Each structure stands twice: as C-alpha cells, then as structure tokens.
Structure 1
Amino acid sequence: MADINTLKSGLIVTAFWEAQPGEVDALVGIIKKFQPQAQAEPGVLAFQIHQSLIEPTKFFFYEVFRDEAAFAEHSQSTHFKTLILEQAVPKLAKRERAQHRFV
C-alpha cells in the first residue's frame, strides 16, 4: 500500500453502486473476483470496495491511480471489461463515478 505522500500525487476515483433487487449476492461475488486483480495493477496505488452496513444494496469504491494513464489502463483491462462492464453493470440500478485530486 502506498504512503499518504504517494497517494496525494495520484488520481482519485470514487464510484457508487446500487444493486438491482435480488442482485446483491451476485455483485459481491463479482467484486471478490475483481478487487484483487485491480489491486495488483501496476498503476494502482489504493483500491478498496465497501458495502454499506445500513443499506447492503449500496457499494462505495475508493480508488487511487498513479495518474490518468494508469486509470485508462485499468479501464481497458480484461478483468474490468469482463467482470465490471459485462457482468456487474447489468445488475446495477445505479452507477455513479467521479474523479478527484487531493487539495
């Protein structure tokens, strides 16, 4: 895991997912396959996925990439295309993503 000074120079991406009714368990299974692969990417400084305790249909992603090029590589990876775009996204009622910088 990168230290805070390394993280500060990265591109932060957040995502919020909401599962369609009956799809939570399937999404958790996909996430458990996807997260270790994303964390192992060379341009990933931090990559955590969280499930809400109060609303288990909701998920929060916190990702820090070395730079925009590393994020682009992540978005083109086979595991992203297969697990996220092909398998997970169709099971979502809502998906929001945003990019951030440390201040």
Structure 2
Amino acid sequence: MNQYVGNNKTIGEAVGGGGLLVVAQWEAKEGQADKVAAILDSFLPEAQKDPGAKLFLIGRNKDNPAQFLFYELFRDEAALKAHQESGYFKTYIAGQALPLLAKRERAQYALL
C-alpha cells in the first residue's frame, strides 16, 4: 500500500490555520488486510481531491500488517461531515472496507 499526503503542500502549510485532526486506527479481520490495503489505495486519490481535506496520512503497521493508522486533517467540522457524506467515502469506506474490519477506533482533536 502506498502512503499518501494530500496535495503538494508541505506539512507546515497544511497545518497552518488549524483545523480538525482525526486519528483513526483500524485492524483488519483475519486474512483481510491486503484487501483493506487495496481499497485504501483506491480511496486515497479521491480523498486527496476533497477541498476540505488539508492532509491525509495512512500507514500500515510494519510488524502487524493488519493494523492501519490514519491522520486526517480537515479544514473544520463541516469539511469532515462533507467527507463522510461523499460518494467515494460511502463506496470505499462504508461499503467495502468497514465490513472487513475487526476493530475501528477514531478520535478528533483541535490543533493547537
């Protein structure tokens, strides 16, 4: 699975002006990790085009490839809501990835 950063901004440029940081941890069900990674490879290019998304980073655990870590920075709450209501989110995440997960945790943070 590739790693993706939204648009061509530096991290400093992306975090400038604050935003809503979403950190998520996923764990795929037994035997489903590669399928989840393939779904994320299709999802991320679409998510990067989202005008309210300032930054996306997704990593796959080197020691346990069934675990995925997300750092997503959105302009604000409305941008996060629009992201979650988008067609690409509903197709790739809600429709395809979530059924393959054993565990999903999310937390939201305001940047300091």
Tell me whether the two structures share a fold, i.e. TM-score over 0.5: yes
Q: What is the CA-CA distance between 1:4 and the residue it aligns to? A: 2.4
Aligned: 1:79 with 2:88: yes
Distance change in 2, residues 1:57/1:7 (3 Å): same
Q: 1-side partners of 2:66 and 2:14: how far apart?
A: 32
Aligned residue identity for 1:67: D
Count residues with an aligned counterpart.
103
Quote the residue 1:7 is aligned against: 15
Given that residues 2 and 46 in structure 1 are in contact (C-alpha distance below 8 angstroms), is that contact kept between their aligned partners in structure 2? no
Q: TM-score scaled by structure 2?
A: 0.87
Quote the residue 1:21 is aligned against: 30
* Unpaired runs of at least 5, structure 2: 1-8
Could you say what secondary structure the match of 2:104 adopts? strand
Q: TM-score scaled by structure 1?
A: 0.94
Question: Quick check: which one's helix share is greater?
Answer: 1
Aligned pairs for 1:22-101 (under 5 A) are 22-101=31-110
Of all paired residues, the percent bearing the same amino acid is: 45
* Unpaired runs of at least 5, structure 1: none
Q: Please provide the CA RMSD for this pair.
A: 1.3
Could you say what secondary structure the match of 2:62 adopts? coil
TM superposition outliers: structure 1 runs of 4+ over 4 Å: none
